[in-house]
Structure 1
Amino acid sequence: MTRSEPDVRPEQEALFSTAAEHYARHRPGLPDPAVHLLAGTLAGRTAPALLDLGTGTGQVPRALLGAVPHLAHIAAVDVNRAMLVNARRALGPLLGGCTLTLLHGSAHAYARAPGTAVPAPDLVTFCRSYHWMDGPGALAMADRVAAPHATVAIMGNGSLWTHDAGWTRQLRELIQHHLGTARRAGTGTAYTAPARSYEEDLAASAWSDVAEHWFPVARTWTPRGVLGYLRTTSFANAGLFPDSAGHDAFEADAHALLTGIADQEGPLVEQAEFRVLLARRPGSVR
């Protein structure tokens, strides 16, 4: 089932409009230890339900379907219709007896449809998505809809824009040469960092019992893999360039740069840390 809510602004829909087809192939998934951590929050639940906010192409539900065979229901929310189409395509063959609701809308506006049997979520997840949302509004919504024992997970590991390595610094400089020095966040928009940290938002919410977990991740990229990844980002996807010729020129320059670095210095390695903030209501049963 797919539902739509009339709260999505055109710029939200457009932010990743050219990225969906590349997302599932080129976006790194969740590291296995992080998946096991999330699965552990559902231990002992007989028919657990997941609410994934900013689901993209469904990476979190896909990982949990493999780790939690008794997962009973998934509600997946995104502001981009193309992302949801890809999520349905990816998740459909894996569902088994698990039911799926896709919602085209903003995270803070989610509500369980009246008159349906959609269960209260036991786990609410934000994977590389919280910073795009009305975070406090989404946490307040989660408090309204989630089960009494539920867990909220906010997680991610930055991007190749923020990663500090010699090859990523050169890549960032090339992106800035083509698109301007400010980090882009869609057409005509510069990225603005959240005013408060995730921890501050959680401390001010109902979900103030927080545990932080870090998982080291080493990724080795190929030049073509980096180009595919950049097509999925808010700071270098094809829609940010004035035309296809401009994007083609950027990709040619990026491929030449990355190939030259790999030939001279060795593999393009990203040493990252995947962070998970697990949050509960104070006093809830773990």
Structure 2
Amino acid sequence: MNTFTGTSSYRRFRPGIPAALAAHLAQETPAGSPLRLLDVGTGPGLVAQALAPYFDEVIAVDSDQTMCAEAEAALRPALSAGQRLHVQHTLAEDFMPPAGWHPHLVTCGRVFHWLDQPRLLNRLNEYIAPDGVLAVFSDRSLWTADSAWQHTARTVVQQFLGEQRHAGDDVFGPPGQPYEDALRASAFHEVTTATIPVRREWRIDEVLGYLYSTSFAAPHLFGERQEAFEAALTDSLAPFIEGGFLVEDNAFTVLTARRPCVRGR
């Protein structure tokens, strides 16, 4: 079973990336014509959608066929005249671009943990543009965030599913080496770090939708207890509502990696 089986609410409830992050990544991208983006593990296309206005050609890849269909449906209608898009169903580690197609920016948003990192990095070194940039970035998920209401929501999930974090029908693996170490061990070992803050407001139904979009709280994991879980979560979060919303202060940690002695524009 795919880790994200049953997470059909992914696009509706997963937050996209803020405009400030898209602008930061665009600024880090070297000049090129046509300017090319490869979005790895695109899911429903949230990262590609935010970055598409900056690029002439976009390729988005994902290992889940349903996610690819959602990305295609969202991205295709928003293309400007002359822009090119290709959404491909494949493992990121197996992807090879068309002959002569060299991305200037490769993005891994909230997905690097799930990948065979050495294999992906070796493959990228085969085809990324000579001065191309790899960007690995993520914000804190509800499981790892530390506000009072998010801690409470995580506790309710654990009451129903157990203390260990799920990854679909399995459990979440132990943390691997820090992303920066993985990058520094690759050809892309010139690494810089940036932090992009973001504030979000959630309704309780949106928190539920978000949880159901994750691998650790997918709907099928609750079985016949799903209705009881929803009631417990609603009751537990109600005291934290401010002005009709649950307020979240989060931040994206952004690692941009290049081959040595190559600078962006």
TM over 0.5: yes
TM-score, structure 1 length as denominator? Answer: 0.87
Quote the Cα distance in structure 1 between the aligned partners of 2:143 and 2:253. Answer: 17
- Show the counterpart of 1:233: 214
Give, as a single letter, the amino acid of the residue that structure 1 aligns with 2:6: T
Post-superposition shift, 1:42?
A: 3.4
- Show the counterpart of 1:212: 193
Which of 164, 175, 194 is equivalent to 1:182?
164
- Show the counterpart of 2:135: 153
Indicate yes or no: 2:79 matched with 1:95.
yes
2:138·2:253 contact (CA, 8 Å) conserved in 1?
yes
Give, as a single letter, the amino acid of the residue that structure 2 aligns with 1:227: L
What root-mean-square deviation, in Å, do the aligned CA atoms of Structure 1 and Structure 2 show? 1.8
Runs ≥4 in structure 1, deviation > 3 angstroms?
none
CA offsets per residue over residues 1-40 of structure 1, 9 Å max, x none?
xxxxxxxxxx4xx211221x31221111112211101111
Greater RCO (CA < 8 Å, at least 6 residues apart): 2
Quote the Cα distance in structure 1 between the aligned partners of 2:233 and 2:49. Answer: 31
CA offsets per residue over residues 231-254 of structure 1, 9 Å max, x none?
11111111322x3x3222212221
Indicate yes or no: 2:158 matched with 1:173.
no
- Structure 2 gaps of 5+ residues are none
- Show the counterpart of 2:17: 30
CA offsets per residue over residues 242-270 of structure 1, 9 Å max, x none?
x3x3222212221222124327x984222
- Show the counterpart of 1:18: 6
Matches within 5 A, 1:92-171: 92-96=76-80, 97-113=82-98, 119-171=101-153
Indicate yes or no: 2:45 matched with 1:45.
no
Indicate yes or no: 2:261 matched with 1:261.
no
Which of 24, 41, 46 is equivalent to 1:54?
41
Quote the Cα distance in structure 1 between the aligned partners of 2:174 and 2:251. Answer: 19
Quote the Cα distance in structure 1 between the aligned partners of 2:175 and 2:92. Answer: 16
Indicate yes or no: 2:174 matched with 1:193.
yes
| 1:108 aligned counterpart, secondary structure | coil
1:219·1:270 contact (CA, 8 Å) conserved in 2?
yes
Post-superposition shift, 1:43?
A: 5.5
TM-score, structure 2 length as denominator? Answer: 0.93
Give, as a single letter, the amino acid of the residue that structure 1 aligns with 2:225: G
Indicate yes or no: 2:62 matched with 1:84.
no
Quote the Cα distance in structure 2 between the aligned partners of 1:74 and 1:266. Answer: 38
Post-superposition shift, 1:157?
A: 0.7
Quote the Cα distance in structure 1 between the aligned partners of 2:263 and 2:245. Answer: 46
- Show the counterpart of 2:260: 282
2:97·2:127 contact (CA, 8 Å) conserved in 1?
yes
Q: 1:38 to 1:267 in 2, by over 3 A?
A: same
How many equivalent pairs are there?
263
- Show the counterpart of 2:249: 271
- Structure 1 gaps of 5+ residues are 1-10
